[in-house]
Amino acid sequence: MLGIALLLWLLSIGSYAQNASSTSVLQLQEITGKPLLPAKLQALCQKQGLPVSSIYGWRNYLLVYGPTEQIKELMFSLKKDYTNTRLQFYEAPFYRFDRSSCTDKTLAKRWDNVILSTGLVEDTLLQRRYLSLHEKQAVEWPEVSQGFCNASFQQLQVFQQNQQLLVIISIPKGKTLDELNPKTTDNNPRVDEWNQLMKQFQRPLPEADSTQTWVTFEPVAAPPAKNAPPVKK
């Protein structure tokens, strides 16, 4: 899982709040390297009942995060409309934290989501170890989940396809990761150990700077309403 210490500089992103357990991600990558224009995707999302706030972007990538069935329907529509685009479907997270393991199981009514991505090392043995560590984390590294509880994380999901990881951290709406994240390591040195351990499995995405291990997918602004009044100058 990601090194939480690396997240201190990130700002939380307002997004589609999810309480449902069945959520997926559809990622679009423009194979020429040019930025993808979001207008067509926004229109298709609205047809599928997905809010445009569920769309995020970084460089030549766009992604949509939402309920699995709606994401699947969207994927079939996109295959006809985005011919020069590589589609990648993240159906289910291989790791998921929720507050069921916390002493205080209360959930916030509204969430903000922080969406991050990094690359996974090519070594298949290291990849298997990475997945195995997450599978056993609750038993062998319970302090990590306790740190998430202490920081009021509502949910944390990690998705993988090929050599790309997506991490979605849900926090109470109006809070920031800068504000909450230090609580994961307060009187909890095992979280620091976990963060250091995870670094050996991560590498920057091909489009990222060599020193930029994690990148942030920013929310894509909604288009103006058709009947919106003109802006006064």
In order of 17, 46, 127, 188, 225, the CA distances from 191 in angstroms are 26, 40, 20, 6, 46
Taking CB atoms within 8 Å and a gap of at least 24, the contacts of 221-227 are 222/42, 222/52, 222/53, 223/39, 223/42, 223/52
Does the structure show a pLDDT above 90 at 229? no
Residue 8 and residue 179 in contact, taking contact as beta carbons nearer than 8 Å: no
Q: What is the pLDDT of residue 143?
A: 98
Give the residue, 158 or 35, on which the prediction is more confident. 158
Per-residue pLDDT at 224 exceeds 60: no
Please say if the pLDDT value at position 233 is more than 80. Answer: no
pTM score of the predicted model: 0.85
Residue 81 banded pLDDT, cuts 50, 70, 90: confident
Output the pLDDT for position 20.
46
- The pLDDT score that the predictor gives to residue 158 is 98
Give the side-chain half-sphere CA count within 13 A for 104. Answer: 11
- What's residue 178's pLDDT? 86
What's the confidence (pLDDT) of residue 21?
56
What are the backbone angles phi and psi of residue 68, rounded to the nearest 5°? -55, -45
Query: The CATH number of 4-219 is which of 1.10.8, 1.10.30, 3.30.70, 3.90.226?
Result: 3.30.70
As a whole number, mean pLDDT of residues 27-36 equals 88
Q: Domain residue spans in the chain?
A: 4-219
Lowest mean pLDDT among 9-18, 27-36, 38-47, 109-118: 9-18
Q: Which residue has the higher pLDDT, 28 or 31?
A: 28
